[in-house]
Amino acid sequence: MKRQKLITKIVMIPLFGLLILSFAVWGIGDIFRTDGHGQNVATVGDTVIDQRSYAQEVSREIGNVSRRFGTQLTPEQAQAFGIPQQVLNRLVSRAVLDEMTDRLGLLMTEDQMRAQILENPAFQGATGRFDRNRFAQALQFSNMSEAGFLQILSRDTQRQQLTQAVTEGAVAPRSLTEQLFTYREERRIADYVVIPNDSAGDVGEPDAAAIQETYDSAIDNFMTPEYKAITLVHLRVADAAAEISVSEETLLAEFEARRETLSTPERREITQAVLPDEAAAQALADKIAEGTDFAAAAQEQTGRAPVSLGLVAETELLAELGGPAFQLALEEVSGPIQSPLGWHIVVVSAIEEGEEAELENLREQLTREIAENQAVDIVIEQANRYDDAIAGGLPIEDAAGNLGIESRQIAAIDIQGRDTAGNAIEGLPTLNEFIDVLRNTAEGDTSLLTETLEGDYFVIRIDGTTEAAPRPLDEVREDVVRLWQARELGRVSQERAQALVDRLEAGEDFAALATAEGLTLERTEAITRFENNPQRTPAPALSQQLFDVREGEVVLAATSGSQIVAKLVDVLGAEQDGREERLTQLSDQLASSIKDDIFQQFLASLRQEIDISINQRLIDQTLTGGSAY
């Protein structure tokens, strides 16, 4: 049943995500705000920002940033990114706007509220019209009442009204747009040759002094990582599940409880026309019965093509529509069907048979899932007992031994979860969470008992630390030699390229020089100042350098493996094809930027006008106490 709840949650997340987007500018803290009886991190006029709301907003923002980077941010990283301060500023700004909308008496009418709800894609069904059931599901998923949602919607709309009133009419001056357009869209063409570094040939072997100098100058490339010696106690759901024997009675009960969801329902491809009343629907049905094509008849009567609902199960349709539609034969057209959305005429164009679940086919899967679900409860109970034991002062391995849980000593592990040979250490907890705890636990300290996404728990103690240190030269000699050779190849190629530049600047012909040097002379396309498409320019650095010189001048650009010598041969204006459209896009971007500047100035003035009190001590307690992380 836990997995069923998870599936329901996954389905609802993208649906409600559309709703959340409507509050993206100011966050969704109002949804989670407490009753105001707790301590407040800030007071803005008559509005308070309580500690719990602030902590939840910080935690949510850290989660968002962590997902973008693909790793869980540590508290130190979150502070370095300025996340806590950004969240506080956003909450204060929101409260400032709320104070001003209250002073101005801005309101959202019932008609405006109704229109926003009806037009919100999060609440629309397969027909593109408002679906009351989806609205209710979205509110249920977010644990919101309808009244609570309407209050948030009203507040958000009032903020938008104030923002629009301040920024309405801001446009980008035509002269500014055209000047910036000319700068950004100017194009340049160059002739160029590429000199690969490895074309320098054999640069030989470095002597002892060169090896030592290369080693010393690039010592950061030859460091061992910091290693930690740790004791690990890991409570694994998989271990507990392996000890569980699932009875036939339990298996059968689970199967019967989930038979419907485990079965594959019949699905039908359904196309519909929706009409305003029964008479119109019957008239359409009569036309089709007389032999008129369904699509043509619907187009003629409604003025638009019928809508395909795709391949759907009966439960995915409105109850009033699903029953009749699933009684039809293939290619059969229904009579008028009434639903809260109007009167429907539907046709079934394909039928995909369902499949009844059979216990024997699902025995292994269900047994595993039952054991895992039971194991989760066992591990939670173990974790509670274990946490009590270590809270009483027992060393973590002794507390584990008393509960029959194994502890593990790892002599050396780096911050990537690897041993001294560079191999990944097997059997660790979920790596991102484990590494986060490893990084933030000091030598001699024991971490908190931490839960992973899989439902496991773990605790570590740092028994010792081996600081990062240079690898001995003899151990990395081959790598040092390769680095010296790569540098030498680059130096020789760069000297060759510079000699070519000098000869071009002296007036020699580029084509003749390229031929004499055994190089291929190529020509770029017309590239813009910020061009970085490798299909259009051999190197982004070259694009930028070409805009620093006059026609006929020469530049030298280095890449990681080559030198590029280029001569600017032509300067062109903006591409004329689609010019007005691109100008309009740029004008819109500038106008948006100008509006944002105006709004920020307005917001700054409001923050000067409205009394704002910040409880920095409580903010620091919130952050250092871990409630925001």
Share of the chain above pLDDT 90, in %: 39
pLDDT at 146 over 80: no
pLDDT at 254 over 50: yes
Count other Cβ atoms within 10 Å, centred on residue 542: 22
| Residues of the chain by 3-state class (helix, strand, coil), percent to 5 | 55, 20, 30
Q: Residues 463-475: pLDDT tens digits? A: 999 999 999 999 9
H-helix or E-strand spanning residue 569: strand 562-572
Q: Residues 223-243: pLDDT tens digits? A: 999 999 999 999 998 888 888
Closest CA to 156 of 19, 57, 50, 22: 22
Provide the token pair at 19. Answer: 């709703």
The alpha carbon torsion through 28, 31, 37, 41 (nearest 10 deg) reads -10
Closest CA to 129 of 137, 120, 140, 138: 120
Q: What average pLDDT does the structure give for the chain?
A: 85
Give strand pairing partners of 310. Answer: 270
Amino acid, res. 433: E
Contacts of 178 (CB under 8 A, 6+ apart): 583
Report d(CA 418, CA 409) in Å as an integer.
Answer: 14
Provide the token pair at 8. Answer: 């329901």
Give me the pLDDT at residue 29, please: 41
Report d(CA 83, CA 61) in Å as an integer.
Answer: 7
Domains detected in the chain: 2-169+606-624 (1.10.4030.10), 187-222+474-572 (3.10.50), 226-246+360-467 (3.10.50.40), 264-352 (3.10.50.40)
Closest CA to 265 of 198, 312, 310: 312
Closest CA to 471 of 221, 214, 209: 221
Q: Residue 334: is it exposed, middle or buried by C-beta count within 10 angstroms (0-12/13-18/19+)?
A: buried
Angle at CA of residue 305, ends 303 and 308, nearest 5°: 145
Give me the pLDDT at residue 307, please: 85
Q: Residues 319-350: pLDDT tens digits? A: 888 899 999 999 999 999 998 778 999 999 99
More confident residue, 349 or 13: 349
Report d(CA 336, CA 325) in Å as an integer.
Answer: 11
Report d(CA 625, CA 335) in Å as an integer.
Answer: 65
Give me the pLDDT at residue 423, please: 94
- As a whole number, mean pLDDT of residues 509-521 equals 95
Q: Evaluate whether 162 touches 101 at the Cβ level (below 8 Å).
A: yes
Report d(CA 420, CA 443) in Å as an integer.
Answer: 19
- Report the helix count and the strand count for the chain, using DSSP H and E: 23, 18
Q: Evaluate whether 329 touches 348 at the Cβ level (below 8 Å).
A: yes
pLDDT at 74 over 80: no
SS3 531: coil
- As a whole number, mean pLDDT of residues 12-36 equals 39
CA distances 9 to 13, 14, 17, Å, are: 6, 9, 12
- As a whole number, mean pLDDT of residues 530-548 equals 84
Give me the pLDDT at residue 126, please: 63
SS3 58: helix
Closest CA to 466 of 224, 192, 266: 224
- As a whole number, mean pLDDT of residues 139-154 equals 73
- As a whole number, mean pLDDT of residues 609-617 equals 89
The pLDDT-based confidence of 5 (bands split at 50, 70, 90) is very low
Give me the pLDDT at residue 494, please: 95
SS3 128: coil
pLDDT at 492 over 60: yes
Share of the chain above pLDDT 70, in %: 91
SS3 471: coil
Q: Residues 89-132: pLDDT tens digits? A: 999 988 998 888 888 888 877 778 888 888 888 787 766 777 77
Closest CA to 30 of 108, 94, 118, 97: 94
- As a whole number, mean pLDDT of residues 243-263 equals 87
Amino acid, res. 55: A
The alpha carbon torsion through 177, 178, 181, 187 (nearest 10 deg) reads -170
Report d(CA 52, CA 38) in Å as an integer.
Answer: 8
Give me the pLDDT at residue 257, please: 85
pLDDT at 57 over 80: yes
The pLDDT-based confidence of 150 (bands split at 50, 70, 90) is confident
Give strand pairing partners of 562. Answer: 196
The alpha carbon torsion through 446, 452, 458, 462 (nearest 10 deg) reads -40
pLDDT at 394 over 90: no
With 0.75 as the threshold, say if the pTM is over it. Answer: no
pLDDT at 4 over 60: no
pLDDT at 534 over 80: no
Q: Residues 578-606: pLDDT tens digits? A: 888 988 898 889 988 998 899 889 888 98
Cα within 13 Å of Cα(110), Cβ side: 1
> Which residue blocks in 536-578 are alpha helix, DSSP H?
540-546
pLDDT at 31 over 80: no
pLDDT at 10 over 70: no
Which residue reads 């925001």 in tokens? 628
Report d(CA 22, CA 300) in Å as an integer.
Answer: 37
pLDDT at 414 over 90: yes
Report d(CA 76, CA 93) in Å as an integer.
Answer: 25
Q: Residues 342-356: pLDDT tens digits? A: 899 999 999 999 888
Residue 523 dihedral angles phi and psi, to the nearest 5°: -130, 135
> Which residue blocks in 392-472 are alpha helix, DSSP H?
396-402, 431-439
Give me the pLDDT at residue 127, please: 66
Report d(CA 71, CA 478) in Å as an integer.
Answer: 34
- The DSSP code for 621 is H
Report d(CA 313, CA 29) in Å as an integer.
Answer: 37
Report d(CA 19, CA 13) in Å as an integer.
Answer: 10
- Annotate 349-366 with DSSP letters as a single string: EEEE--B---HHHHHHHH
